[in-house]
Structures are given as C-alpha cells and as structure tokens.
Structure 1
C-alpha cells in the first residue's frame, strides 16, 4: 500500500520536529480540506490545518503547555507563515 503524499509544508514540519525533538513516534496529518470555507483555508491543495500526534523523550516531566511550546519552537516561523491551525497530542514514552 502506498503512503499518502504529503506536501512541502508537512514535509518541512516533519524535518524540523525530527531534528528538534527526536520523536519515537510521529503522525502528521493534513486536515486542510476539512476546513474548506473557514478562516485560514488556502484553497485546494493548500496546507494550512494539521493534526500532530508526537511522542518524544524530550516531553518527560513537562506539562501539556510546555510540550506544545516545544513543538511551536521546533516549527518556528512555519507557525506564523504557513500553519493556520495545529491540533496536537503530545506524549512522553510510556504514557
């Protein structure tokens, strides 16, 4: 079975998350089409709304807010320039 194609924004997000947080598990899904007609929607094929499930040892001992801030920091300017919305589930290994 072929993996779903991902666009350039999602690809860059994955690279940055891998480099910054060394996740043991990561899933990034482009949910942009589910937001057609809503704020931030960039048209068909545009990447703007994402769901992220990520597990990283870097999250051990951190609150949910600290974990989200670490993700935002890893993504840098993408959060201001490319990503309109990011829903996320963050976990440390074993949680």
Structure 2
C-alpha cells in the first residue's frame, strides 16, 4: 500500500470506524489521462467501506462523510479521482 492509500485508510478508519475497508489504487489504469502525474503517482482510488454510521443515510450523505474524513487529501494535486462504494452493515 502506497503512502496516499495508507493515509486514506488511516483517515477513514479514524473518522468512520468501518467494519470493512478496502482502499484500491486505480492509478495504473489512468496512465496518460488527465490527473495522472507520473508512473508512481497515487492519484486515482476506489474505496469500499461498510460502516454502522451509514445506516439510514442517503448515498450522497455517505459520500459527504467520506470526503469530510479525507479533508485536504481530496485536492487536485493529491487525489484526482475517488470512487466511493459505501454501505451500512447488512446492505447488498
């Protein structure tokens, strides 16, 4: 796990206490595309998480919670793209 992926994992764990958390670096799929900063740059991610705090929340509210937890990491010079798959326990 790279430095940025580790920071994503740490921040989401601290803020949301997920029972399941997977941080996937998708940057290799974006070589030559906008937002990719070089061969080793971590810039595109997918996060999959299940957290009790998501129960009863809309998809948008869940995404806002993830973005709030990540704070300054979600900036064009840090994380260019973020795909969020967020669920409450027992969902899909």
1:25 pairs, out of 11, 20, 23, with 20
Once residues 67 and 88 of structure 1 are traced to their aligned partners in structure 2, the CA distance between those partners, rounded to angstroms, is: 9
Q: Note the aligned Cα RMSD (angstroms).
A: 0.7
* Superposition misfits of 4+ residues, deviation over 3 angstroms: none
So what's the TM-score if we normalise by structure 2? 0.95
**TM-score, normalized by length of structure 1?**
0.92
Q: Give unmatched runs, 5+ long, in structure 1.
A: 1-5
Structure 1 residue 7 corresponds to structure 2 residue 7 = no
1:49 aligns with 2:44: yes
Aligned residue number for residue 82 of structure 2:
86
Aligned residue number for residue 32 of structure 2: 37
How many correspondences in the alignment?
90
Counterparts of 1:78 and 1:88, CA distance in 2: 14
Structure 2 unaligned blocks of 5 or more: none
